[in-house]
Chains A and B, each alone.
Chain A
């Protein structure tokens, strides 16, 4: 299975898991629900779609860049941190509690995504200008 197909499978599995988890958790919520928890799957679907379409839609292949692995890890981690933050926010909301820490998951997750986007830009810059790049294996 190619890396791209594996990404699609993993994101789809996690999105389905998020929906099932939300439904089961809701059974114990005594009627209280949380939009943060209910919408976790949207971030997974969106996050998976964005990385799939970006890599698939690019005119150049960036998967051979050494930096690609780091970019890929940082992007996935960003999505994971945001979804984790939404899950915690949902748990706290359903319990009727609040915490000032949870918002940091969203900030850090967003920072990871921004970082990944900058790395993507750098890889594209290297590819398009065919410079002796430090991030590609075969140059």
Chain B
């Protein structure tokens, strides 16, 4: 004991040792959280998942995920066979799309984007009408579900031949949240209240919300949930404002949101902010804009520097994090494509 006491008797030796250990561990924690990319599931071109990790614990989770994927594959096939029949029919009679700077129209997809400037805020509202839910899609950066695996919205959109795209929920910045994409369960770790409401899209294309942890991801998939997004808060429900307590900043910021107006009829809003041209939107303003445009259900997605709207080969808004202009690399996008 006396020896142990004497080791650290030297002045400042203990303090120096602790300072080095704390700095190193803190630096590692921050690098792990913000920078180190980790691939959990790589999606190949045939939409099949392959496990790409050596961590046994993660492998176990992935094996469960693979099992879930297997289960959901049946659902996917069922939907594909029914959905693709309609899609095939409509593609047979496909005419040349009509494209302008702010609109797109073909037999199955109609997109109309409006740039709105009011009260010091510039925002873009895209009104989208689809003939089938299969045209509303999601994609991961580098086709990989993982942590800190990122790409700019424009790159992901181009790689997926998107017509229109917005940033998603940036799931890869967090270890928690319900993530279902294209009928496959990737993560089922509930976030803590108050920000634990996830947005769901079912196979009919209807938007809904669930409280993470109250319903399992597997049962959601069984009940026909096709996509889920884990950010929030919920902006509108049943056509009324539905803002509740949240840790998400309610101050004016760049924002991205998705809403549903009617059957297969959606509204996407991306607001610029943190710039001289646009102050950004508060959550209340965003929710009000959604309701004013007829959204029955609306949900806030990742905002700030991530907020980006891509249309027909270009980013049409002005993404900025307040310090640097330009797109931020994100984990995922929501897009419209054939």
Give chain A's interface residues, CB within 8 Å of chain B. Answer: 29-32, 66-67, 69-70, 73, 77, 80-81, 84, 87-88, 91-93, 95-102, 105, 134-135
In the complex the two chains form, is B29's CB within 8 Å of A135's CB?
no
In the complex the two chains form, is B304's CB within 8 Å of A99's CB?
no
Question: Of the candidates B170, B175, B248, B250, which one forms a contact with A100 in the assembled complex, judged by CB atoms under 8 Å apart?
Answer: B175
In the complex the two chains form, is A31's CB within 8 Å of B22's CB?
no
21 contacts between A and B (CB under 8 A): A29-B249, A31-B250, A31-B251, A31-B253, A32-B247, A66-B5, A66-B6, A67-B1, A67-B5, A69-B5, A69-B8, A73-B18, A81-B22, A84-B22, A93-B247, A95-B34, A96-B174, A97-B173, A98-B173, A99-B29, A102-B29
* Residues of chain A lying within 8 A (CB to CB) of residue B15: 73
How does the 8 Å CB contact mask read for B17-35 relative to A, with 1 for contact and 0 for none?
A: 0100010011011101110
* Residues of chain B lying within 8 A (CB to CB) of residue A80: 18, 22
B233 to chain A, nearest CB (A): 13
A91 and B2 alpha carbons, distance in the complex (Å): 40
**B14: nearest residue on chain A (CB-CB)?**
A73
A12 and B278 alpha carbons, distance in the complex (Å): 42
A137 to chain B, nearest CB (A): 10
A125 and B288 alpha carbons, distance in the complex (Å): 67
* Residues of chain B lying within 8 A (CB to CB) of residue A98: 33, 173-176
In the complex the two chains form, is B248's CB within 8 Å of A32's CB?
yes
In the complex the two chains form, is A30's CB within 8 Å of B249's CB?
yes
With A70-B8, A88-B26, A91-B30 as given contacts, are A77 and B18 in contact (CB-CB < 8 Å)? yes
With A30-B304, A32-B247, A80-B22 as given contacts, are A101 and B173 in contact (CB-CB < 8 Å)? no
Check: B181 CB closer than 8 A to any chain A CB.
Answer: no
* Residues of chain A lying within 8 A (CB to CB) of residue B194: none
A69 and B274 alpha carbons, distance in the complex (Å): 51
Q: How many residue-residue contacts, CB under 8 A, span A and B? A: 76
**A32: nearest residue on chain B (CB-CB)?**
B249
* Residues of chain B lying within 8 A (CB to CB) of residue A73: 8, 14-15, 18
A29 and B15 alpha carbons, distance in the complex (Å): 31
* Residues of chain B lying within 8 A (CB to CB) of residue A134: 1-2
A105 and B18 alpha carbons, distance in the complex (Å): 13
Question: Of the candidates A69, A101, A105, which one forms a contact with B32 in the assembled complex, judged by CB atoms under 8 Å apart?
Answer: A101
How does the 8 Å CB contact mask read for B61-97 relative to A, with 1 for contact and 0 for none?
A: 0000000000000000000000000000000000000
**A133: nearest residue on chain B (CB-CB)?**
B1
With A32-B249, A70-B8, A98-B175 as given contacts, are A135 and B1 in contact (CB-CB < 8 Å)? yes
B4 to chain A, nearest CB (A): 7
Question: Of the candidates B18, B33, B247, which one forms a contact with A97 in the assembled complex, judged by CB atoms under 8 Å apart?
Answer: B33
A84 and B302 alpha carbons, distance in the complex (Å): 28
Nearest 7 A-B pairs (CB), nearest first?
Answer: A31-B251, A31-B249, A99-B33, A73-B14, A32-B249, A98-B174, A101-B29
Q: Could you tell me which residues of chain B, from 1 to 57, have a CB within 8 Å of some CB in chain A?
A: 1-2, 4-6, 8-9, 14-15, 18, 22, 25-26, 28-30, 32-34
* Residues of chain B lying within 8 A (CB to CB) of residue A67: 1, 5
A13 and B336 alpha carbons, distance in the complex (Å): 56
Check: B313 CB closer than 8 A to any chain A CB.
Answer: no
How does the 8 Å CB contact mask read for B289-314 relative to A, with 1 for contact and 0 for none?
A: 00000000000001010000000000
A103 to chain B, nearest CB (A): 11
**B273: nearest residue on chain A (CB-CB)?**
A30
**A28: nearest residue on chain B (CB-CB)?**
B322
A123 and B248 alpha carbons, distance in the complex (Å): 49
A69 and B33 alpha carbons, distance in the complex (Å): 36
B274 to chain A, nearest CB (A): 7
* Residues of chain B lying within 8 A (CB to CB) of residue A81: 22
**A77: nearest residue on chain B (CB-CB)?**
B18
* Residues of chain A lying within 8 A (CB to CB) of residue B170: 96
* Residues of chain A lying within 8 A (CB to CB) of residue B9: 69
A29 and B251 alpha carbons, distance in the complex (Å): 10
Most chain B CB inside 10 Å of its own CB: which residue of A30, A69, A81, A99: A30
B333 to chain A, nearest CB (A): 18
